[in-house]
A and B are shown apart, each in its own frame.
Chain A
Amino acid sequence: MMEFLAMGGYAPYVWGSYLVMAGLLVVEMLQLRFRRRSLMDWIRRMARLRVQEENQ
């Protein structure tokens, strides 16, 4: 296991590449999910307001 993590002495370069890529892809997906959720909440709130106005 330690041998695997050491990557033949190139650990900082190999893991520095793979982990940064993994991290950035996760950030991209989370950012997209957050953006979608806040937009959905906004649309729902507007729909509720419209219903309230129609009922008054």
Chain B
Amino acid sequence: MSERGIQWFRFTAPANFYDLAGRLIPWFAALTIALFGVGLYMGLVVAPSDYQQGDSYRIIYIHVPTAWMGMFLYVLMAIYAAIGLIWRIKIAEIMAKSIAPTGALFTFLALWTGALWGRPTWGVFWVWDARLTSMLLLLFLYLGYMALHAAIDDRQRASNASAVLAMVGVVNVPIIYFSVHWWNTLHQGASITVTEAPTMAMIMFVTLMIMVLATWVYSIAVVLARARVELLERERTARWVQERLEGERR
């Protein structure tokens, strides 16, 4: 029988996913270092001070990318969780679980850098406005997802229960995004939208995009690396794991 018919499913097979991720990670890691190197140099050295905010505005070069990644990773996690729940695809369950810690980390960093930007700019570290509060809720959703996963011993039940939580929580992401339109928030509106030209200087915009790309490739590398470890944990008795251990360094 011809094997060509099942080629499309090759990368969902655990061993193939493990190998492919292993080949991709070094590339994304190298890109991460290069992009962070260029982005940090441009953001901290090359880009001029803001005429209103002075040098404190440089925090946005990490505040905006971490906030975007925190929101985007949540949607991605919910999609993988849904795929895992509906079609019982093991790799999708593993991806959802692997995304959560990195998403939580970026959400925390968005809140942290936002507070440190807000203090000199608004005069306060924190206000309970719609944008900030819904972002805090996103962090709790991530933590709840991880806690629920950890609290249930049976792997399949843990996966199913936390998948439902992830999917219900996804409603929070558009609330975060539109909160600056729907409510009067202290947080400013978007400076960058799909439909209009950005309302910031070109050098600042380019720097910000480089930092966004850097957090992107970092997330890809770290999530793939975590997915590989999760996969090894689940499949530790499988023959393909034993085969690969022979040839692999620590």
Contacts and interface: CB of A to CB of B under 8 A. Distances in A.
Interface of A: 4, 7-10, 12-14, 16-18, 20-21, 24-25, 28-29, 32, 35-37, 39-44, 46-47
10 contacts: A7-B55, A16-B116, A24-B105, A35-B229, A39-B233, A39-B236, A40-B245, A40-B248, A47-B242, A47-B245
A10 B250 contact: no
B159 to A, nearest CB: 19
B109 A20 contact: yes
Contact of B226 (A7, A17, A32): A32
B236 A13 contact: no
A7 B56 CA distance: 8
B236 to A, nearest CB: 5
Given A4-B45, A14-B55, A37-B250, A43 B62 contact: no
Which of B116, B228, B236 has its CB near the most chain A CB atoms (within 10 A)? B116
B112 A32 contact: no
A52 B242 CA distance: 15
B47 interface: no
B165 interface: no
B241 A17 contact: no
Interface of B: 40, 44-45, 49, 54-56, 58-59, 62-63, 66, 101-102, 105, 108-109, 112-113, 116-117, 119-120, 218, 222, 225-226, 228-229, 232-233, 236-237, 241-242, 245, 248, 250
In the A-B complex, the 6 residue pairs with the smallest Cβ-Cβ separation, listed nearest first, are A8-B55, A10-B56, A7-B55, A17-B113, A8-B54, A13-B116
A42 B236 CA distance: 9
Given A7-B58, A17-B63, A28 B117 contact: no
A25 B55 contact: no
A6 to B, nearest CB: 8
Contact of A10 (B55, B101, B248): B55
Interface of A is mostly: helix
Given A28-B222, A36-B232, A41-B250, 5 more contacts: A16-B116, A24-B109, A32-B225, A36-B228, A39-B236
Given A47-B242, A47-B245, A14 B109 contact: no
B238 to A, nearest CB: 10
A47 to B, nearest CB: 6
B155 to A, nearest CB: 16
Contacts of A25: 105, 218
A43 B237 CA distance: 8
Given A10-B120, A17-B116, A21-B109, A43 B54 contact: no
A12 B222 CA distance: 29
Nearest to A9: B54
Nearest to A47: B242
Given A28-B101, A28-B105, A14 B245 contact: no
